[in-house]
Chain A
Amino acid sequence: MSDRLRIILIFLVIGADLYTFRQIRRGKMNLNHSLLWILGSLVLLLAAVFPGTIYWLSEKIGIELPINMVFLSFSFFAIIFFVYLTRVISREDWVNRRLTQQVALLEKRVRELEGRLPENSRPGPSSTER
């Protein structure tokens, strides 16, 4: 791994982490959902600062070019992250579905209750806005 690549990596990681932290502070990202990103970037940072770990590991595993070790581990990490995201989405999907169903059921109750009121005392529009 060339020194130039190491420096680029270090800057990239620091930049990405700064961005992530700012998003978290602004409330645009969730800390628990970004934790995996931050952990992954820290591992990359360690590898860039101490390239010896990469050389040692790639020799143990049998990868000739140490940089390929970096690529390989990053694709592993990306796959893990995608699977994790799929889990998050699936849960959100269920939550949204249940909320939609509940809202529709409540809308029916409100509609029917309002229908029982005398004409002049009905509050607001009789159906919910989309």
Chain B
Amino acid sequence: MKKLIIIPAYNEEGNIHRTLEDLNTEYPQADVLVINDCSGDRTLQILKNDESKYIDLPVNLGIGGAVQAGYLYARQNDYDIAVQLDGDGQHRADCLQALIQPLLEEKADMVIGSRFLPGNDQDGFQSTAARRSGIRLLSFLIKVVTGKRIYDVTSGFRAVNRELLDYYADHYAQDYPEPEAIVMAVHNGFRVTEVPVIMNERAEGKSSIRALSSLYYMVKVSLAILVTGIHMRRRGRRNE
């Protein structure tokens, strides 16, 4: 089983080294690929010094395009499992085994590391109340559109199997892609599931979602979920 951990990194000079070290000690059995999305800071230098595996995008593509480059790499190099993990230290390497377990047991095609699963003892970083209600709204929308309840829809900590990474290499949402990618997966007949994980608060730097853009985020993502849902449902019917 070849496993690849994809880490999109944009201006993560303060976090990337620690993230890589953490992975190296906690989960050395997987390959790690960092996607430097044209960072303006010392991220690239750090990657070079650490002699880590990285690809260096010549122009800034945003998180969607960066992650997709990782899936493309996974496909070209015959990986069986691809894990997406943020470069900001929020996602913990000690949760990796639990994350990919459903894939190994072939119980799911995609596993999302979730902070909000019911029965989860709500440990670790739970985000702010405003964000949690945004996430709840998106979760509800996805439930309406796909019929599937996913709790932590914006979680960037996720693992997919070979079939889904192959699909994502060609079709991946851009601009805040996480919730939309779930809808695409469900509508294409992939089995999506969640496992409880603990997340840290990001150590340094800023989240890509700031207060001012959060309205744009909600509108864009809601619309994307609806459009993707309707579009896929139609296509699904035609194929039947």
Where the two chains meet, the residues of A that have a C-beta atom closer than 8 Å to any C-beta of B are: 96-97, 100-105, 107-108, 127-128, 130
Contacts and interface: CB of A to CB of B under 8 A. Distances in A.
Q: Is the interface of B mostly helix, strand, loop or mixed?
A: mixed
Contacts of A127: 56
Contact of B69 (A101, A128, A130): A101
Interface string B117-137: 000000000000000000000
Interface of B: 35, 53-59, 61, 65, 68-69, 72-73, 76, 174
Given A103-B58, A105-B76, 8 more contacts: A97-B65, A100-B65, A101-B68, A104-B57, A105-B69, A105-B72, A107-B55, A128-B58
Q: Is the interface of A mostly helix, strand, loop or mixed?
A: helix
B65 A108 contact: no
Nearest to A130: B58
Contact of A100 (B53, B54, B59, B73): B59
Contacts of A108: 53-56, 73
Nearest to A93: B174
A97 B68 CA distance: 9
Contact of A101 (B53, B54, B57, B174): B57
Contacts of B54: 108
B236 to A, nearest CB: 23
Contacts of A97: 61, 65, 68, 174
A107 B56 contact: yes
Nearest to B48: A127
Highest count of chain B CB atoms <10 Å: which of A96, A101, A103, A128 = A101
B58 A100 contact: yes
Contacts of B35: 104
A57 B54 CA distance: 63
B72 A101 contact: yes
Q: A-B pairs with the 5 shortest C-beta distances?
A: A101-B69, A104-B55, A108-B55, A104-B57, A97-B65
